[in-house]
Amino acid sequence: MHSDPKRLRELPRSLSLRLLGSVPMGRIVFTMNALPAIRPINHVVVDGDVVMRCHGGAALLHAIGQVVAFEADQIDPETRTGWSVIVTGKAERVDDADQAARYRLLLRPRVDLDMVHVVRIRPELVTGYKLIENDENGHDAVA
């Protein structure tokens, strides 16, 4: 998948999910109107799942039922070092009231009536990698 062995070091699944859970925001990738769509969104990682919430009219609702990707990273644009984690899995709406309430609490301990929907991704694929320094050449981040 990542074919520049000099710069990318693959990370184990557990560490990847831990890194993903260590930042407050990532980007969800899905299809909307037959076009690729991406949205920055706050998330938490709970029991290995990626959990977000959104309001009733959000573009993200298009993602429900789709196999989506979710990516978060911390990359220094100068040194081009850091990490990136991508999970792929089906996005589902959490309809169980108790479970949704628990997730909402973890996402932000504040009443916010507009953010009605809780969306969860159960990762099937988890790809994490560390970007390491390259002595001689400045390679462009990842890809």
Binding site for a second copy (CB under 8 A): 1-4, 23-25, 27-31, 35-42, 52-60, 67-69, 71, 73, 75, 77, 80, 84, 86, 88, 107-108, 110-115, 125, 137-143
CB of 133 to a second copy, least distance (A): 14
How far apart, in whole angstroms, are the C-alpha atoms of residue 140 and residue 62? 32
How far apart, in whole angstroms, are the C-alpha atoms of residue 88 and residue 54? 19
CB of 141 to a second copy, least distance (A): 5
**DSSP summary character for residue 139:** P
CA angle 68, 65, 19 (to 5 degrees): 35
Cβ closest to a second copy, residue 38 vs residue 101: 38
- 52 closest CA partner among 106, 125, 124, 114: 106
CB of 112 to a second copy, least distance (A): 5
CB of 14 to a second copy, least distance (A): 21
Type of residue found at 127: T
Cβ closest to a second copy, residue 20 vs residue 68: 68
How far apart, in whole angstroms, are the C-alpha atoms of residue 38 and residue 23? 18
Cβ closest to a second copy, residue 76 vs residue 96: 76
